Every structure is written in C-alpha cells, then in structure tokens.
Amino acid sequence: MLSKLIITAAIALSSFITIAKPIAIDENNISPLLNGHEIPNISLQTVEGEDVNLKELVSHKNTVLFFYRGGWCPFCNVQMGQLQAIESKLLAMNIQLVGISPDSPEKLKASITKNKLNYLLLSDEKMQAAQSFGLAFYTSDKVTKMYQAKLGVSNTLFNLPTGEARLVLPVPAIYMSDKTGLIQFMYANPNYKVRPAPELILSAARLLE
C-alpha cells in the first residue's frame, strides 16, 4: 500500500512540475516543448466558461494548436484571419484548429465576432498552458506599462522572483499533434511580428494525414 501511495504521489508531483514550468525571464529564453513531446494534460476554458481537457481534446482528432498573445494584438488578429482562410482545407484533412490565448472567455467571444471565426478558441487566463508548453515569459516593466496604457491589456499580472508585477505572455507558436497527443511539428518565434505563412502550416499539416 505504501509503495502505491509513493508512486501515486510521484506521478502527481511530476504532473505539477510539468504544469508549473518556470516563466522565462524574457521571450528569448523560453524552453518550448519540441517534436516528440506529448501534449500536456491541462484544463482550459471555452467561451462559455466550461472546462476542456486539452489532452482529451486532441485525442479525438489530429490537431493544429496555435498560441497567440490576445485579441488586442494586431499581428494576432491578422494570423487568426489567415488561419480562418485555410480552416476548410484543414477540416478536409480531418484536422481540427484550436487557438489558445490569455484572453478571458468574454474576450474570446469578441475575437470570434470581430474576425468571423469558426474554429475553437480556448482561454488560458492562468497561463497554465503557456507555462506547460514552455512559452510563457515576463514582459519588461516598460512593455507591461505600455500595453496596459496604450492597448488596454488588463491581464492578471504575475510577480517576478524579485516581487515586481509584470505582464506574462506566450511566445506565438504553432503545434501539430496526432491523435495520440504526440507533437509532430512545432514553430515558435520570439519575434511576435513574424508568423508562419498559411502555406507552411498546410504543408506541415499534410504530414499528419
């Protein structure tokens, strides 16, 4: 019995460590999950505020996941529109498209309406997905204040080890997984202005067929 309890505790601790992956000091020091890693077992929220287990979600169908900074980001809105334009081709390959951001469910609804989206958007307000994928990073004090003042970003702030409160964002990224939850393709770029072309995403997605 004791050995079973120890094993159970070890598994639980291992899961916690994966979810609580440290937030990078800046966007250039992230440690993203790579090809061959598995989609983490984490919970996100739909626009209705309902919980969705990401690992279970991808087990039903090959999946293209994309992490974006939020509906306030113009580069993210352009990308969402580009992905909407190729969604029908992904669906024809039996691949689902899912977007993940720190936006609240209410803000996700606004993005869906604004960009006329058909695909699923999930809320990662607590940044558990961004952290477990190794994409979360602290913005600088200057950027935090600028985004709050000029772009109206009202995300929850996170404290640095030194105690300073900063905005935490995900580095924009694309992940493709098969139905076993195995990552087959990934793209992450610290330069938020550079996103993979739709043609590249489609080419990579064909490898999942």
Task: Give pLDDT tens digits for 25-81.
Answer: 999 999 999 999 999 999 999 999 999 999 999 998 999 999 999 999 999 999 999
- Phi and psi at 123, nearest 5°, equal -90, 130
Quickly state the pLDDT bin for 20 (edges 50, 70, 90).
Answer: low
Name the nearest CA neighbour of 176 among 168, 187, 166, 163.
187
Name the nearest CA neighbour of 193 among 32, 51, 35, 69.
69
* Separation CA 61–CA 34 (nearest Å): 20
Mean pLDDT computed over every residue of the chain: 91
What is the CA 148 to chain-centroid distance, rounded? 21
Name the nearest CA neighbour of 107 among 70, 79, 77.
70
Instruction: List, for residues 154-194, the tens digit of each pLDDT value.
Output: 999 999 999 999 999 999 999 999 999 999 999 999 999 99
Active site residues: 76
What is the CA 22 to chain-centroid distance, rounded? 15
Residue 181 CB partners (closer than 8 Å, separation 6+):
38, 39, 55, 58, 59
Instruction: List, for residues 125-145, the tens digit of each pLDDT value.
Output: 999 999 999 999 999 999 999
Q: Is 166 helix (H, G, I), strand (E, B) or coil?
A: strand
Supply the DSSP string of 14-40, one letter for each residue. HHHHHHTPPPBSSGGG-----TTPBPP
Q: What is the DSSP-derived secondary structure letter of residue 182?
A: B
pTM for the whole structure: 0.89
